[in-house]
């Protein structure tokens, strides 16, 4: 984990972009502190309730890359803004008006980032005239200060190798820089251009004009990040420890890690189940019940016996971590630290 933090920090420094890691991946303030110590300029989060936990721990520079519109969440957001340096996200006029009214009533000013739709079928304003019109409306609203644009594109696993991922990431950076230029051309003082996920952070960050990248999963990696080609299997640093509880057939073992341990997030590679053994990537978690994980054993793992311990790499690190109370930090086979996953379950 520490090498993953360092690798991203060094690469970003070389590109001249700031790193604002997405801390929803780990939800642990102590880990955010390690990322900040390595040079991160703040963190990204999604939910207000997550940001409350980090602010309680003294981590106050937060970009909430999420549309906050529910009245209770807006109330908490405004209260939190009194003790944290928050930056918020908008992608609609209705959302911006709600945010503006809440900020005005609370007597505060909020920095906002306009989300640009990067074509993944989620949130974001369409680049060009729609984004310009919306940005102008936001700029005219009281108690909001539009400072930048951001977008999220991710990258689906691809058989086309690193060049495909890099081109995809560069296109993300170029789309955001171009959207920022559009807004500047109508007189809006846009200073922030925030891009990137684990697979696209560095290629997007290499585009002149991108100011910040927001990778999250790079911290630990997982089966899907390896499938994206964004990390090597050897760089994965998060494992679910499990015990073989049954050995019903020559090619099948059952472990005490099911959907409540690994999450049931699907694999981005067809036929790869719900995770794999760190010691043997050919051994896959092919069946998942709440408390049972069914391993289809590769040749190297056919010697597994009831009681044996195994390390499983889950498909999606963020969903897996959110299921647990603690992370156990191990260095050179020795337990070094235990962290409470303080913001787990914080979804409001
Ligand atoms: C808005 C936003 N930014 C950044 C990220 C981080 O991407 P990744 O999980 O690939 O590191 C996410 C992940 O979902 C996201 O939604």
Protein residues with CB under 6 Å of any ligand 1 atom: 22, 44, 65, 152, 154, 197-198, 214-218
For the chain, give the percent of residues with pLDDT over 90. Answer: 97
Distance between CA atoms of 229 and 249, rounded to whole angstroms? 33
pLDDT in tens, 202-225: 999 999 999 999 999 999 999 999
Res 46 pLDDT > 90: yes
When pLDDT is averaged across residues 65-78 and rounded to a whole number, the result is 98
Name the token pair of 181: 């230029």
Residue nearest to atom 16 of ligand 1 (CA): 152
Distance between CA atoms of 147 and 117, rounded to whole angstroms? 17
Distance between CA atoms of 311 and 64, rounded to whole angstroms? 33
The CATH code that applies to domain 233-315 is 2.40.37.20
User: What number does the ligand 1 atom closest to the CA of 225 have?
Assistant: 10
What pLDDT does 160 receive? 75
When pLDDT is averaged across residues 255-268 and rounded to a whole number, the result is 97
Do residues 99 and 138 make contact, with C-beta atoms less than 8 angstroms apart? no
Q: How far is the CA of 297 from the centre of ligand 1 (A)?
A: 32
Distance between CA atoms of 221 and 202, rounded to whole angstroms? 15
Q: Does domain 2-221 have CATH number 2.40.128.130?
A: no
Q: Domain limits of the chain?
A: 2-221, 233-315
Q: How far is the CA of 215 from the centre of ligand 1 (A)?
A: 6
Res 180 pLDDT > 70: yes
Res 146 pLDDT > 70: yes
Distance between CA atoms of 344 and 326, rounded to whole angstroms? 10
What pLDDT does 156 receive? 83
For 40-75, give one letter per residue: b (16+ CB within 10 A) or e: bbbbbbbbbbbbbbbbeeebbbbbbbbbbbeeebbe
DSSP 29-48: HHHHHHHHHTT---EEES-H
Residue that has been written with the tokens 């560069």 in this structure = 170
Question: Considering the chain, what is the average pLDDT of its residues?
Answer: 97
């Amino acid at each position: 984990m520490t090498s993953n933090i360092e690798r991203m920090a060094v690469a970003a420094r070389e590109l001249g972009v700031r790193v604002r890691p997405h801390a929803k991946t780990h939800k642990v303030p102590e880990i955010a502190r390690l990322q900040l110590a390595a040079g991160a300029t703040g963190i990204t989060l999604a939910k207000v309730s997550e940001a409350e936990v980090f602010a309680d721990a003294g981590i106050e520079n937060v970009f909430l890359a999420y549309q906050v519109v529910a009245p209770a969440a807006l109330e908490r957001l405004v209260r939190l803004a009194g003790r944290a340096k928050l930056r918020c996200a908008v992608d609609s006029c209705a959302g911006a008006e709600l945010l503006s009214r809440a900020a005005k009533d609370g007597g505060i000013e909020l920095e906002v980032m306009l989300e640009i739709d990067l074509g993944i079928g989620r949130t974001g304003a369409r680049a060009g005239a729609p984004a310009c019109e919306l940005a102008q409306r936001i700029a005219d609203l009281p108690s909001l200060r539009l400072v930048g644009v951001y977008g999220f594109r991710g990258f689906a696993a691809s058989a086309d190798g690193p060049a495909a991922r890099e081109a995809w990431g560069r296109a993300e950076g170029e789309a955001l820089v171009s959207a920022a230029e559009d807004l500047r051309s109508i007189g809006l003082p846009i200073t922030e251009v925030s891009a990137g996920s684990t697979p696209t952070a560095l290629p997007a960050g290499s585009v002149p004009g991108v100011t910040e990248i927001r990778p999250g999963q790079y911290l630990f990696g997982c089966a899907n990040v390896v499938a994206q080609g964004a990390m090597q299997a050897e760089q994965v640093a998060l494992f679910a420890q499990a015990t073989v509880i049954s050995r019903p057939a020559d090619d099948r073992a059952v472990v005490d890690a099911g959907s409540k341990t690994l999450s049931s997030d699907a694999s981005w590679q067809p036929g790869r189940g719900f995770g794999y053994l760190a010691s043997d990537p050919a051994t896959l978690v092919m069946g998942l019940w709440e408390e049972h994980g069914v391993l289809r054993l590769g040749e190297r793992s056919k010697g597994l016996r009831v009681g044996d311990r195994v390390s499983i790499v889950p498909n999606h690190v963020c969903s897996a971590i959110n299921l647990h109370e603690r992370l156990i930090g191990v260095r050179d086979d020795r337990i070094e630290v235990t962290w409470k996953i303080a913001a787990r379950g914080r979804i409001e």
